[in-house]
Amino acid sequence: MKPLLTILLSVLLLLSACAGEASVSPSPSQPASGSTAPPPAASPSASPDAPAWWENIPTGNLPDTLSAAEDVEAGSGGLYRLAELADQDIVLYGYGGEDDGAPFGVLLANGNTITPFDQVYLSAEHPMLPQLRWEDLDGDGSKELAVVYLVSNSSDGSVFELHVYQPQPDGGWNDCGLLPDYYVPLLEDLLSFSYDHEENNVTITAGTEKISVWYDGPSEPDGLATVGNLVFFRWEDGAYTAVFGLQITAGDASCTDIGSLTAQVIYDGGALTLAGFQLNAIGGV
């Protein structure tokens, strides 16, 4: 087994903006100097002198059969073939990591060129394999790779994460992620909550959008629950739509679903953003 000499260094995730193009080197080194973003919060801690997780991965260890989500073992240090697009010669591999928890670290293969990314790719509970699409997302005539990861899935909520990987001439990729650092403050500023004690109505507004539903909970509602613990993406009419579940809190009771906020996902070749917000009510709660 020979060392993985064709690995490209990708940059770390940048809020909703793209990471810069990685440079090719005969042996892996640090991310390109143009990237100043800190590692993602989900990344495991490591000594400054410790080698990166991908540095000693041998090419002979890359699996050639797809794994099931339940076969991926966090802390195993193994490699797993997560998904592929055979017609494009694209394969996504996952690294089992050295620690328990959500598996961390992906290798994105474009032919014989492989690029590592610091990325949670499976939830620790009830995992689901990443979903891949090869589409022209920015309308420039060239296609990009879209990957939807389930990064968290528990009784507290389910969070999917959308990334767009733009292929580069040298075989590497630029990575754009639609991340909580971007959309949580955006939605917190956009959404507002009010409660009519006499009518027992809860009203949610988002810009010019408004929904009102009758409330019959165990106690008076306190307000909206933290936005961002229910995040989904659906593909329809040639584009992605983001779906954010909306819940209200009331004392010590469990959160109550009240509706959802949808938004168009816009990729312009340089960033992922949200637009065209719409509120949808569930009904009386």
Higher-scoring residue by pLDDT: 47, 225: 225
Residue 194 banded pLDDT, cuts 50, 70, 90? very high
All residues at 6 or more sequence positions from 237 whose CB lies less than 8 Å from its CB, including other chains: none
Cα dihedral sign, 31-92-265-174: positive
**Spatial separation of the C-alpha atoms in residues 130 and 173, rounded to whole Å:** 17
Higher-scoring residue by pLDDT: 77, 270: 270
pLDDT of amino acid 216: 79
Which of 5-19, 86-100, 101-115, 189-203 is predicted least confidently?
Answer: 5-19
All residues at 6 or more sequence positions from 86 whose CB lies less than 8 Å from its CB, including other chains: none
Q: What is the pLDDT of residues 32-59, one digit of tens each?
A: 322 222 333 333 444 456 678 788 776 6
Which of 97-106, 209-218, 271-280 is predicted least confidently?
Answer: 97-106
CB 246 within 8 A of CB 226: no
Give, as one character, the DSSP assignment of residue 96. Answer: -
- Mean predicted confidence (pLDDT) in 172-185: 95
Three-state DSSP state, 258: strand
pLDDT of amino acid 242: 97
Strands 191-196 and 201-206: antiparallel
In one-letter notation, the amino acid at residue 190 is L
Q: Residue 281's Cα: distance from chain center in Å?
A: 25
What is the DSSP annotation of 120-161?
A: E-S-SSS----EEEEE-SSSSSS-EEEEEEEEEEETTEEEEE
**Spatial separation of the C-alpha atoms in residues 23 and 25, rounded to whole Å:** 7
Kindly report the number of other CB atoms within 10 A of residue 278's CB atom. Answer: 14
- Mean predicted confidence (pLDDT) in 2-16: 36
